[in-house]
Structure 1
Amino acid sequence: MKILYVITGLAGGGAEKVVIDLADQMQAHGHQVKIAYLKGQPILQPQNPEIGLHYLGLENPWRLWSAYRTYQQLLQSYAPDVVHAHMVHANIFSRLARILHKVPKLICTAHSTNEGGALRMLAYRLTDHWADINSHVSQRATQLFIQRKAFSTQAITVYNGIDLSAFYKQRFRPEQLTEFLPSAIIAARQQDPACKLILAVGRLNVQKDYPNLLYAIQQLKSLHSTSFQVMIAGEGEQRAAIEQLIMDLQLQDDVILLGRRQDVAALMSIADVFVLSSREEGFALVVAEAMACECYVVATDCGGVKEVMGDTGTLVAIEDSTRLAQAIADVLREDPALLSASRAAAKQRVHEQFSVQLAVQQWLRIYA
């Protein structure tokens, strides 16, 4: 089978990681795979060099026709059996392109509960009939899109899958920690071996609501008597605003921005708590990754987070830093045996429901 994935870009977000993992897995299953991306520089790339990356050049609306012509040439030369688009721009683009160039099957997958404002929802609605199958990454998000009439009632839910060979609990000797932890974290742990590590991972954007986390950390300092350090891994357009808020809240000694990291599984393996403070999510891939690494999760109840976590970890309402701070404090002083049991249950849940292998099998049935 020839599969063409079309995606808005290949930055370091969860949706992009999902597509890269799917491409590698499909190629490993003996299928031919190519990825077309609309814009930007490809930060993420497949492990398999046989998977071709094709830049369409849709950096602004004025380049729509040029991007379509490049896409058309790819369709003509490759002749895919299935085109699977991901994220709003790629979904709308691939639907519109189908008016001029037919493809055997077009599947469109949304990855966020908020893929834009009313105009984007209208664009989804008006182009719905050009997609053979619409899907979202959580039941909650699927129903929301149906309610907004962005998707028809025939839309389906397919959960994202994670590569369990990459996300698992890693063990480190003390001297190994210096290889990937910031010196400030090492110094804090040397000064206080009981120092707790709190980790957040995700793009520095409005949807992830890092101010919610930072206000919670400010309150946590009065709720938790022992020392802790907070690490935030990720990059994005909100970095300057987040840096300023860290200074305004006088958290310079408590919070470290790590930037984009390739060793997220290692960070999750040594963290005591993983915190997701988002106001919007689709599936929340990082939550499943933290669960696979046996890191206790405290998360806001948005998008498909509850579906991922089940009865493991701790859920709190969105945009409530007081409750978030209290939840983190409760975890930091919880009985280690109870935390261990919850982490084991979380790991088992991910292995049973959210592996990339399960996702691949479900997609292959849909592609057929």
Structure 2
Amino acid sequence: MKIFYIITQFGIGGAERVLMNLANEMEKKGHEIHIVSLLPISGMETNDMNIQFLDFKRNFFKSFIDLRYLINQLDPDVVHSHCLHANVITRLLRTITPMKKLISSAHSSNEGGGIFMKIYKYTNFLADINTNVSDAAVKKYIDNNYIRKNDIRRVYNVIDILSYDFCEISRDKYRKNFELENTTVLISVGTLKEAKDYPILIKAISILKVQGIHNFKQFIVGNGPLDTELKKMVSTYGLENEIIFLGGRDDIKELLSMADIFVLSSKFEGLPTVLVEAIMAENIVVSTKCEGVDEILRDSPFLANISDCNELALSIEKAINFLNSQEKNNSLISQKEYVKENFSKENIFQQWLDIYEK
């Protein structure tokens, strides 16, 4: 089977990693894979996959024609687009370009608004199948009248969960390299953009410092449009010793093993894949109550209301105290078993294969 993937842009975000996981698995099974990014790469390992980059931002019409040419030339069995702009552009392209099967996949409960979301709503009929990554995200799309109930389904992300399994060697090596020793390590991973709400995280860290909690470091992994603004905020709050920006990295697995606590401060998500990865790396997870979280975390005592820095600080403090409790190991084991059972790469890959072949 010839599969043509289209994504808005590569970076270090969850959607990009999920696409690469899916494409790699399909290629291993002998399928012919082609990938197009509508925008130039923004920092991600893409291995030797057959990836082409367009530039819709600089030259929309030329890129539109180039994309049409690629699809006509390859004549794929399946065209599978990911994220709002790629979904909309691929649907519009189908009005003038034959496609045997078109699948549109959203990756969040909120992928943006404005004209593109309106076009998404009124072009659903151009896709054979529409998906989103969690039950909560699907419900949000239906409730917001972006799509009808019978026209969308949930398919969890393909995550290579075993590759994120805790590694003692990586933990020791990285903690030594960062001179952490007995320091409690907090980590957050994600693009530096509004949806991730890093300002709330910074304020929460400031609250902890004021309360006299000092023996910790908060690492932030990722790059994005708010990079300069967030670093200025850290300086304003005097948190240069507490918060460390690492930029874009390709050693997320090792960094997660180094950490003790993972913190997600997002306003909205689809299915926060990174939480699954953090659980596999045996991190205690602190998160806001955004969409998809309760499908990964069960009865967690470390959840905070969205955009509430005081609750987030309290949840982080609880997690820090929990590190030395007798219940910690049993809790981590239980979480890992739940993740393995519900997010196995093999089961979700088979769901996608069934969709492609249907």
| Fold match (TM-score > 0.5) | yes
Partner of 1:95: 91
CA distance in 2, matches of 1:279, 1:318: 6
Shift of 1:130: 0.3
CA distance in 2, matches of 1:138, 1:165: 21
The alignment partner of 1:57 has SS state of coil
Equivalent residue pairs, number: 355
Matched, 1:345 2:334: yes
The answer to whether the 8 A contact 1:199-1:268 is kept is yes
- Residue 273 of structure 1 aligns to which amino acid in structure 2? I
CA distance in 2, matches of 1:174, 1:198: 13
Partner of 1:157: 154
The answer to whether the 8 A contact 1:113-1:282 is kept is yes
**Distance verdict in 2 for CA 1:302–1:73, change over 3 Å:** same
Partner of 1:204: 192
Partner of 1:54: 52
Structure 1 residues 124-164: Cα deviation after superposition (integer angstroms, max 9, x where no partner): 11111101111111111111111222222220011112112
The answer to whether the 8 A contact 1:233-1:259 is kept is yes
Shift of 1:42: 5.9
Shift of 1:173: 7.7
Matched, 1:284 2:272: yes
CA distance in 2, matches of 1:88, 1:166: 29
Structure 1 residue runs without a partner (length 5+): none
Moved over 6 A (4+): none
The alignment partner of 2:286 has SS state of strand
Q: CA RMSD in A?
A: 1.8
**Distance verdict in 2 for CA 1:36–1:69, change over 3 Å:** same
CA distance in 1, matches of 2:214, 2:45: 41
Shift of 1:258: 1.1
- Residue 208 of structure 1 aligns to which amino acid in structure 2? K
The alignment partner of 1:261 has SS state of coil
Partner of 1:170: 167
Shift of 1:175: 6.4
Q: Percent identity?
A: 34
**Distance verdict in 2 for CA 1:252–1:92, change over 3 Å:** same
> What is the TM-score normalised by the length of structure 1?
0.91
Partner of 2:125: 129
**Distance verdict in 2 for CA 1:215–1:80, change over 3 Å:** same
Partner of 2:144: 148
Partner of 1:20: 20
Shift of 1:178: 6.0
The answer to whether the 8 A contact 2:84-2:117 is kept is no
Shift of 1:314: 2.2
Structure 1 residues 7-49: Cα deviation after superposition (integer angstroms, max 9, x where no partner): 00111111011111111010001111110111122633444x3
> What is the TM-score normalised by the length of structure 2?
0.94
